[in-house]
Structure 1
Amino acid sequence: MGRKLRVGVQLPEVERFVPWTELREMAITAEDVGFDSLWLGDHLLYRREGEVTGPWEAWSTLAAIGAVTNRIEIGPLVAATSFHNP
């Protein structure tokens, strides 16, 4: 009758620094519990309370997540092309 509902998850990147080992475990867990997709924002800088912080670079991180997962679809939540040299 209709299409199956697909549900994705955005990994944290702004609230706090997340080490690669924790990102990897979150991605594997998201796949194991049945999420269909996983997303990262493509931002390089955030300004919070006068402090400039930066997350992991999205495209390299997504490639690394792709290497440790099998089924889950991955993608950038935002693709800020002006941050990257063609």
Structure 2
Amino acid sequence: MRCRFRIVGIDCPLCSLALARSLSGLKELSAVKMPFLGNTVDIETGLSPEELGKLLSGVSKRLHGQVEFIPLDPGEVRPV
């Protein structure tokens, strides 16, 4: 499954880099494309939408809950 999210809550270069590294280090995600200081991320994964939502929720919690992933195609993925 390929999906794109808008990222809310990142406003500094170091935070953006930390998020990109966190996502790229997850073995469940086969590809992560996030432009430097970008506000979107493209993810490719074999996870179900529900599993991906839980995974991204965990990433947000590790980053102090300041990051929100909003699906650009709301019918495709629903983070929990």
TM-score by length of 2: 0.32
Larger Rg computed on CA atoms = 1
TM-score by length of 1: 0.30
Q: Which has the higher contact order (CA 8 A, sep 6+)?
A: 2
